[in-house]
Amino acid sequence: MVLLQKLALAALAGLGAHAAVGGWAVITVEDFPDYLESGASYRIEYTVRQHGVTPLTGLTGTVVVQAGAADALTARTQPGSAPGRYVATFRVPDTDRVTLSIKSGFSGGGWGDLNLMPIPVVRAGQRPAALALADRGHRLFVAKGCGSCHVNGDVPEYAAMNRVYGVAPELTGRRLEAPYVRQRLTNPASLPKIGDSPVRMPNLGLAPDEVDALVTLVSGQDQRTGM
């Protein structure tokens, strides 16, 4: 027990030291897809923000594409259309789903990488049933980097791998009022700061349908159907 306590304290101390020198960042994927088409060329675009707020330029990142037990594909990124934004293009393998891992190049220790939930792959011309809003919000919570700052036991996917910093209020089991969540997502500067952390909620420039999905998830307006 004493050894475990010492290890936990050492881990916390390491996190504090790393954060103090600006050693962490948050990735937000733009237009995260509900599914991909086998054989098609897919262009993934994402933004890297230091401490979740300031866009980081000049990074050399990669996107790792994993399809089952097959060898992973790696696509190198290029600067995108705005400061801190990056793009990578890859051909979707012939499989039933792929998992994408974004290595931002910000830190060799992984402080600024993002592991996404598996994306279904369909054959050309197919179109799967639309996701329920809460299910889509669940996937977007990971893809938009929400879990990098908010601990949320209701969205456990890749939480440990995505380095939860806990600098924002915990959301596990909470059901916030929908209008409040919507305002936090669309105009966070209009609301007071929460807690003592210097980190503020950024405006991620979410599309209206992305906002709807995240509001549904966090407010608990609709039950998830499972994926």
162 falls in which pLDDT band (50, 70, 90)?
confident
Mean pLDDT of 123-136: 90
Per cent of the chain over pLDDT 70 is 85
Domain at 25-122: CATH code: 2.60.40.10
* Domains in the chain: boundaries: 25-122, 133-219
What pLDDT score was predicted for residue 43?
96
Q: At 163, is the pLDDT very low, low, confident or very high (cuts 50, 70, 90)?
A: confident
1-5, 113-117, 189-193, 196-200: least confident range: 1-5
Residues, the chain: 227
110 band by pLDDT with thresholds 50, 70 and 90: confident
Topology adopted by domain 133-219: Cytochrome Bc1 Complex; Chain D, domain 2 (1.10.760)
pTM: 0.84
Amino acid letter, residue 172: T
Q: Is the pLDDT of residue 1 over 50?
A: no
pLDDT for the residue 22:
53
Q: Sorting pLDDT into bands at 50, 70 and 90, what band is 214?
A: very high
Higher-confidence position of 13 and 200: 200
| DSSP for 27-89, written as a single string | EEEES--S-EETT-EEEEEEEEEETTTEEP-S---EEEEE-TTSPPEEEE-EE-SSTTEEEEE
- Calculate ∠ Cα 5-142-61, nearest 5°: 90
Spatial distance between the Cα atoms of 24 and 174, rounded to a whole number of angstroms: 26
50-77 pLDDT, tens digit per residue, is 888 889 999 999 999 999 888 899 999 9
CA separation for the pair 78, 86 (Å, rounded):
6
pLDDT of res. 159: 85
